[in-house]
Structure 1
Amino acid sequence: MTRTVGVVLAGGLSRRFGSPKAFAKLGERYFYEIAKEALEAQCDEVIVVTRQELLAQFPANVNGMIDIMEYKGLGPLAGILSAMESVEADRYIVLPCDMPYVDDEVVEKLLAQHQQGVTAVITDGRHHPLVSVWDGYVKSHLREALDNGQLRVMEVLSRSGVIWIEGSLLVDDVKRVFTNVNTPEVLERN
């Protein structure tokens, strides 16, 4: 049986947003809760990867963790690898916490498109590498990249044989759903 683990990336510095995006709200729910819920139906377990100073703010029922020490603070690749090192799985579905319009249907359809390696979303020529599915064996590519100081997600994906799935295959309202909420103004507009 295939084991699938969800990874919510909630450790960014949120400089443009002005406060931790994991705890921004859409309606009554925190961004991290929305991402976690989007993953739960497809995953055996969901991990929220965050920064040390935010970890205590998550409730006890959230499986939170920080980057493993040797890759601490090295960005999203470190968060993904830390989750992979922490929990063994056949595949990992990754979502950033700052895309609160990605729901469980999008995740289900993305997973259905996944064949092997890494599958990620592209919309109108714009790549969304953190809305993605990663096979467990890609862990070695991540480790090698981080050990060599390579922090760019796109470069690691290109070496991992990424398959780009057009967002319109997953949802009709592509522009809204795949919007990174990087500022409070973006949230207000949507």
Structure 2
Amino acid sequence: MKNTAGLVLAAGAGRRFGRPKALVEYDGRSLLDRAVATLRGGGCRQVLAVLGAGAEQALAAATEAFTPVLNRRWGQGLSTSLKAGLAAVPERYDGVVVTLVDQPRIEPEAVRRLIGAADGGATVALALYRGGRGHPMYFAREHLDAIAAGAVGDRGARDFLAANPGLVSEVPCPGDPLDIDTPADLAALAHPSPA
């Protein structure tokens, strides 16, 4: 099994939500704790979390063990968190599984499947949900510098992926990549409407 790290991007202020989403609770646990547990449960041997807005509170409230990476430039977009996180991945890891803090229904099995794809030779693997790509995403170490170099503003790995379609393995995954952007999103997730 590939020696894989996990990376949670959790530095944003959550302006639409009204507070940093790393601090938001869903079903009795913070979104940060959930994301860290999902990566660890899926086989990541070390989990790093990029923190920015509300970093001290997030660290104080966390119950899951992770390596914090502080992004003081978080206000300049998601790319700054991705760059900081990728730069912090220790050299001993073959690759990294990246996820976002605000998608609490991503399952450890999705992480396992991405690492399995890497074991099978994939150097870039993306979760596929009902035909659409989403997080988490696996990147082999050999691509980390290029991904970081192409990340600008709120664009993370998108430009790298668009420029290298032949590298991408799509991996069908269970779970739901729905993200929580507002308190209404959280309420809808906690109390879904009957079908």
What TM-score comes out, normalization by structure 2 length?
0.78
How far does residue 179 in structure 1 lie from its aligned partner after superposition?
0.3
| Structure 2 counterpart of 1:80 | 82
CA contact (8 A) 1:55 1:65 kept: no
How far does residue 106 in structure 1 lie from its aligned partner after superposition?
2.1
Structure 1: state its 5+ residue gaps.
none
| Structure 2 counterpart of 1:93 | 97
- Structure 2 vs 1, CA of residues 124 and 43 (structure 1 numbering), >3 Å: closer, same or farther? closer
CA contact (8 A) 2:31 2:101 kept: yes
Secondary structure of 1:46's match? Answer: strand
Structure 2 residue 142 is matched with structure 1 residue 137: yes
Distance 2:47 2:141 in 1: 15
Structure 2 residue 35 is matched with structure 1 residue 21: no
RMSD: 2.5
Q: 1:170 aligns with which of 162, 173, 177?
A: 173
Distance 2:95 2:125 in 1: 11
Distance 2:148 2:127 in 1: 23
CA contact (8 A) 2:6 2:40 kept: yes
| Structure 2 counterpart of 1:179 | 178
Matched ranges for 1:99-138 at <5 A? 99-114=103-118, 115-124=121-130, 126-128=132-134, 130-138=135-143
CA contact (8 A) 1:7 1:49 kept: yes
Distance 2:148 2:104 in 1: 29
Secondary structure of 2:106's match? Answer: coil
Identity within the alignment, %: 22
Structure 2: state its 5+ residue gaps.
190-195
| Structure 1 counterpart of 2:46 | 45
How far does residue 127 in structure 1 lie from its aligned partner after superposition?
3.3
What TM-score comes out, normalization by structure 1 length?
0.80
- Structure 2 vs 1, CA of residues 73 and 19 (structure 1 numbering), >3 Å: closer, same or farther? closer
Distance 1:150 1:21 in 2: 19
How far does residue 44 in structure 1 lie from its aligned partner after superposition?
1.6
| Structure 2 counterpart of 1:152 | 155
Distance 1:72 1:13 in 2: 8
- Structure 2 vs 1, CA of residues 150 and 62 (structure 1 numbering), >3 Å: closer, same or farther? closer
Amino acid at match of 2:28: E
Q: Which digits, 9 at most, give the CA deviation of each residue in 1:18-38, with x for residues without a partner?
A: 111111111210000000001
Q: Which digits, 9 at most, give the CA deviation of each residue in 1:47-79, with x for residues without a partner?
A: 11011x422221385421123x7x764433332
How far does residue 2 in structure 1 lie from its aligned partner after superposition?
3.8
